[in-house]
Amino acid sequence: MAVPLPHPRLAFAERLAARPILFDGAMGTLLFSRGIPQRASLDELVETHPDLIGAIHREYIRAGADAIETNSFGANRLRLAPYGLAARASQLNRRAAQLAREARDVAARDVLIAGSIGPLGAAVRGPDRPPTAEIRSAFREQIEGLLEGGADLLVFETFSDLDELLLGIDEARAICDLPIIAEMTFGEELVAMDGTNPQTAATALASVGVDAVGVNCGVGPIVCLDALQQMGRPSADLARVIMPNAGLPQRTEGQFVYAAGPDYFAEAVKRFLAAGARIIGGCCGTTPEHIAAMRQALDQALARERGTAAATSAEPLGQGASPRASLSDRPTGSSSSIQEPPPPTQLAQALADKRFVISVEIDPPRSVRIERTIEAARLLQDAGVDLVNISDSAMARVRMGAMAVAFGIQHDLDLECLVHFTTRDRNLMALESELLGAHALGVRNILALTGDPPRVGDYPTGTGIWDIDSTGLIGILQRLNRGEDQAGKSIGAPAGFTIACAVDPTSADPEQELDRLAGKLDAGANLVMTQPIYAREQWERFMERAARRWGDHLPRPVLLGVLPLHTARHAEFLHNEVPGISIPDTVRAAMAAAGDRGAEVGLEMALDLISQMRGLVQGTYIMPSFGRYEMGAELVRRIRATVPEAARAPA
């Protein structure tokens, strides 16, 4: 009675049945081409040059590989001993698997991590062959390190001694249930160094519980293909694998140059598949360019098999999605374009098109319920806003997280959000982690703020963190847009944040405010958003000083902050008690004279200010007080109706 396959092996078999798996290409070839000496221990590089190893893994993932091999081919104590590294075998294998997993995480693709295990070295075949127990121990040590590092399967590769290979597989089967791929290397006469022929090897390996058997390295695709065919047709539970060298190398200027190019390997894909291979890849001399060519050829072959005109259903990856696509609909990027930044946000596109942008600020709820907040956003959407701002626990009062609110609005309403993001509550790690998550969920407009001190809010004994200020946060966002985190590590692809910064035109120390603004712009801010102002003269006084640095206009688009007044008391409170707001005497007098028409007068003055600022700013963001979003919606409708620049562009 057949014993059911353990779960990891069953999952691997199902994956193979669904479609062939494309492995990566050479590691050593790329390392040598990038300055690593030929005589160096390549296995030690996972500790001495982890960024280089990780970068190569990511290149192969971008090329379209479905599986990447760890940089651990020779990381056994016998081969490490000449470098004085024998005692570090387990750690090096663990780190090799970890680096491959980190590359997969960065690329955000479902890529298999294959633990690479090579022969133990010439010592196992000569007269000084160590005892079998020592050979087994060396294999076990390496396998355990790869398991600790998180390998998904094991690849025994480039073996030319069948007995040695069988010992390694026996150790692997004794300690794990991972899928095992076994590959031998044959010469032009289709005989391994120990005299084993392909058919004998396949028969022996089939009896020890491997999941795929085949050939790698060797002379090149033709000889490997001959060896694979001699192994016989695969059975239902034993797949075939082929990973040839890129032909024979020649030494040119100290480097080995291989003869077979990417196009040749692409052409070979059809023959590999016809010979029954379900796992294909490359060995020495193959590069990401070879794998990319094989990826395209494999997808085309699968498309032809399915009778389709294009390979859309067979593509392992998709093109980028809009910021507001649902998670289930959002593909992970294409193998050829994963390094490309995502398309601009609608806010960035509107600014680039010189359209007049209107946003309204929404406060997150002080509750676990978000329904009323969603309805407020719907009201504003119907009134004609381009986006909504989501404040971040303003005045240090605890509310629902701004990122969660933004995602809820974008998901339910297809209305873009701009999140106020403060450095008050998060250390550097938390800042970057939350921004990565926000980007993945399509929240990509960020207003970088330092944040109000906790002592002014609900928790006066609370402490702020402030590892960085708003300028530092802008720098982090720009680094993410370049595809790296604050530590200089790759995040897999450039982010696509639109970065806004704040400025107070009525600051009591205008020169200091201009210095801070200059720092924010130098750090990479794309947009300037003002604190509320109430008269054109306030902006003109600010710009008189700014003109000494930037001329008549700031070097970035400006959104005018507008906070409509409700009553005379409201005006006095804002002017006297809220930092960053200065209301001219004439405006406060007008509110005092308005009596019970205060709200209407406040709207009229806000609309008049926006009309006066035409040509000086590229939009406005409105801050309704006391959650009176209907008042904000009314102002939006009036702006659309009366300010020419704010008229809706044709759909």
pTM for this predicted structure: 0.67
DSSP-assigned letters across all residues of 224-278: HHHHHHHT---BTTBEEEEEE-SS-EEEETTEEEES--HHHHHHHHHHHHHTTEE
Average pLDDT of every residue of the chain: 88
Tell me, what's the pLDDT at 321? 36
Tell whether the torsion through CA atoms of 31, 37, 41 and 47 is positive or negative: negative
Residue 457, pLDDT above cutoff 50: no
| 276 touches 228 (CB < 8 A) | yes
- Cα separation, 514 vs 520, in Å, equals 10
pLDDT digits (tens, 9 = 90+) for 168-206: 999 999 999 999 999 999 988 899 999 999 999 999 999
Tell me, what's the pLDDT at 453? 66
Residue 33, pLDDT above cutoff 60: yes
| 63 touches 335 (CB < 8 A) | yes
Tell me, what's the pLDDT at 543? 96
Tell me, what's the pLDDT at 255? 58
Tell me, what's the pLDDT at 310? 42
pLDDT digits (tens, 9 = 90+) for 346-368: 999 999 999 999 999 999 988 88
| 262 touches 256 (CB < 8 A) | no
| 107 touches 492 (CB < 8 A) | yes
Q: Which domains are seen in the chain, by residue range?
A: 22-314 (3.20.20.330), 352-644 (3.20.20.220)
